[in-house]
Amino acid sequence: MWALSAVGYRRLGAVGSLAILGGGWFAGKLPVHDPWGVWTDHGSATKAMAAAVAYVGLTVLVVAWWQYGKTASTARDTLVTLAWWTAPFLLAPPLYSADVYSYIAQGSMVLEGHDVYTVGPSALDPGGIGGDAAASVGNHWRDTPAPYGPLFLLISAAVAWTTGATIVPAVLAMRLVALASLVLIVWSLRRLAHEHGRSESRALWLGALNPLLLIHVVGGVHNDGLMIGLMLAGFVLALRGQWIAGSALVGLAMMVKSPAAVSLLFIGVLVHAAATGPEWRRWAKGLLAPGLVACAVAGGATLISGTGFGWLTTQGVAANIHTALSVTSDLGLGLGELAHLLLDVDAEPVKSVVRTLGLAVALGLILVLGRRAMRGTVTPGHALGLSLLALVALSPMVQPWYLLWGMAVVAATARYGRLFAVLIVLSAALVYETHPMGATPPYGFVLAGLAVALGTLAIRRIPVVPQDVRLPRRRSPEDTAEHQDTPVSADSPAPAPSPQNTP
């Protein structure tokens, strides 16, 4: 394949981002009514052509990102590239999702005194504050209570109050929150990579420059970015011995989305390792102290917000909607239908049991990883990344951007190897699953499957690493005997490389 310099791929990716902006302006998730007349429907023919432009731009961006990963770029170079690729998304309408309309509507509900944990956005007055946002919420979510924590509802309410929940300024304000989340992710990735002796540039490339993050956190304005940023920052502080502040940040992350709570287990591992005194006291401090700090912060945020503790009962509402990326939901649905066909029993309980078993297996894997981290066979940071990936893989509801939960951690803690390669391929493929207007058409899965096949062939042929990184070769028995005391890691650098170029 033709090769450009890092600057050339930076420019190519910027062209891709601009094409996504141009296509998304007409084919993105446009509001039902925009009082400013900026984001309006121009008809089905225009939307079809614009969607094609957006898909082409997305492919250009993915190719540029893939090839940029092979360049020996410094962290500073990667940050400049990130700025180039992010900038076009900042003024775009909502892309690849309608969730931001739910955020604005839920913030308006808080201002209007509605209980967001018992009713959905449809409770808003169509002609009042947040009415336009509520009308633009996806059908599945219009009557669904908020599954988010009080901190995020306070942020949404602040946006609704400052903008009057008017569509364009409210969406752009929420995108500023997403941009701040990206900044926090970048800050955390660099420090997490440094703590683990990994390349900051490589961590930024997979964890922040990733097209999956750009289109869904910045373009789609998903609050997962804020959860990831707060969680990573909290874990970084814990790694540096500031576990109380770190646990507090994780508590705030939980008040955005609850999966951030997984990190408390691995902060506990760090606390246990650093504690002194009798063993029982070290265990008690490691197992209980981070959780108590996070719960105190969560309770305080709930009381300050005035939204109540209803968020404890709405964590499973999203699972009521079937998503094809959830293995346990697909398996449960298939087994349920089979049981109904053969045994004439209701399919829903079978599906529910399978999904529950999936979560139980995920919990078991997380505990095993926690135990391994306690024994020192895996670092707590890497174990956290693996745990979040396991949780997503076995969750009853999976969206493409959920992969970012664990991938952001793994990007800064793992060496280049099979897992790293799998995450690269999945990142390049899952961007195709969703249409710019937020739908999941059947051809999206076809495109994603094609991308997986092509990506797998490409990465097996030429690994996505800088040229000065030496990968392991197949060893003969003689090599194994000769080098048994000095194994070569999956991403060992060539002699005397720059630290920035070591994955």
Spatial separation of the C-alpha atoms in residues 312 and 418, rounded to whole Å:
37
* Residues 415-451: tens digit of each pLDDT: 999 999 999 999 999 999 999 999 999 999 999 999 9
In this prediction, residue 499 has a pLDDT band, given cuts at 50, 70 and 90, of: very low
Which DSSP state fits 428?
Answer: H
Which residue, 298, 270, 297, is CA-closest to 286? 270
In this prediction, residue 471 has a pLDDT band, given cuts at 50, 70 and 90, of: low
The tokens for 284 are: 């008690």
Tokens 């089979």 map to which residue?
338
pLDDT surpassing 50 at residue 33: yes
Mean pLDDT of the 26-39 span: 94
The tokens for 147 are: 């599954």
Spatial separation of the C-alpha atoms in residues 174 and 105, rounded to whole Å:
12
CA angle 223, 225, 263 (to 5 degrees): 105
Q: Are 210 and 427 in contact (CB under 8 A)?
A: yes
- DSSP calls for 301-362: HHHHHTS-SGGGT-TTGGGGS--TT-HHHHHHHHHHHHHHHHH---HHHHHHHHHHHHHHHH
Q: What is the pTM of this model?
A: 0.92
Neighbours of 154 (CB within 10 A): 18
User: Which of 19-23, 207-211, 284-288 is the least confident region?
Assistant: 284-288
Tokens 């090769």 map to which residue?
3
The tokens for 337 are: 């239908």
Q: Are 370 and 265 in contact (CB under 8 A)?
A: yes
* Residues 345-402: tens digit of each pLDDT: 888 899 899 999 999 999 999 999 999 999 999 999 999 999 999 999 999 999 999 9
In this prediction, residue 141 has a pLDDT band, given cuts at 50, 70 and 90, of: confident
In this prediction, residue 101 has a pLDDT band, given cuts at 50, 70 and 90, of: very high
Spatial separation of the C-alpha atoms in residues 485 and 499, rounded to whole Å:
23
Mean pLDDT of the 177-182 span: 98
In this prediction, residue 3 has a pLDDT band, given cuts at 50, 70 and 90, of: confident
pLDDT surpassing 50 at residue 476: no
Q: Are 121 and 137 in contact (CB under 8 A)?
A: yes
pLDDT surpassing 70 at residue 325: yes
The tokens for 313 are: 């009962």
Q: Which residues 6+ apart lie within 8 Å of 462 measured at CB?
A: 70
| pLDDT-above-70 percentage for the chain | 92
* Residues 181-190: tens digit of each pLDDT: 999 999 999 9
pLDDT of residue 22: 96
One-letter amino acid identity for 93?
P
pLDDT of residue 489: 37
For the chain, the average pLDDT equals 91
pLDDT surpassing 80 at residue 80: yes
pLDDT of residue 340: 85
| pLDDT-above-90 percentage for the chain | 81
pLDDT surpassing 50 at residue 75: yes
Of residues 499 and 342, more confidence is placed in 342
Spatial separation of the C-alpha atoms in residues 448 and 399, rounded to whole Å:
13
Report CA Rg, the chain. Answer: 23
Tokens 């670092």 map to which residue?
379
pLDDT of residue 2: 65
Spatial separation of the C-alpha atoms in residues 25 and 30, rounded to whole Å:
8
Which residue, 92, 13, 19, 91, is CA-closest to 55? 19
Spatial separation of the C-alpha atoms in residues 187 and 203, rounded to whole Å:
11
User: Which residues on neighbouring strands pair with residue 2, listed in sequence order?
Assistant: none
Spatial separation of the C-alpha atoms in residues 391 and 375, rounded to whole Å:
22
Sign of the CA dihedral 388, 389, 395, 397? positive
